[in-house]
Amino acid sequence: MKKIALIGSGGSGKSTLARKLGKKLNIEVYHLDALFWKANWMMTSKKEQIKVQNELVKKEEWIIDGNYNSTLDIRINAADTIIFVDISRIICTYRVFKRMVQYRGKSRPDMAEGVKERLDFSFLKWVWDYPKTKKPIVLMQLEQLPKNKKIIVLKSPREVHLFLEKNINEW
């Protein structure tokens, strides 16, 4: 487990898991939100997103946290391990709302400086709709991967906790 792609809905705990996993495995963590969102919520171009990810996946070891379904193939094809944090939409929505309140007007640890948290109902809707709109596409992409890829699906906060507590290579 040296090249890990972490995916899942907003609020699923990807960034927190990435940080904890990075410490445990001593592997550099890259949060795509921090790389792609610039001050005042300006998104980098898709061309730049592709360039950045193509450079990251050339590294010997990495943990890349983020969705960005339009470029997901770059990460999952280069990864030896894909962790899909598949937490219920109720928990994810609650966590996103809590995060929006907690960090309102400030930058979160997994975001670039100058990207201040705000109440964003369109993002809350995206999180709520994720199981119906994005999850099926992600699952289809995962099913098409070669069998030598390790795919780990964590379906609850308890499973995430157990994953971090156990010898990770047992999963």
Query: 3-157: which CATH topology?
Result: Rossmann fold (3.40.50)
Domain spans of the chain, in order of start? 3-157
For residue range 89-142, list pLDDT tens digits in order: 999 999 999 988 888 888 888 887 888 888 788 999 999 999 999 999 999 999
Pairwise CA distance, residues 63 & 4, whole Å: 5
pLDDT at 168: 65
Cα distances (angstroms) measured from residue 22 to each of 12, 15, 25, 126: 17, 10, 5, 27
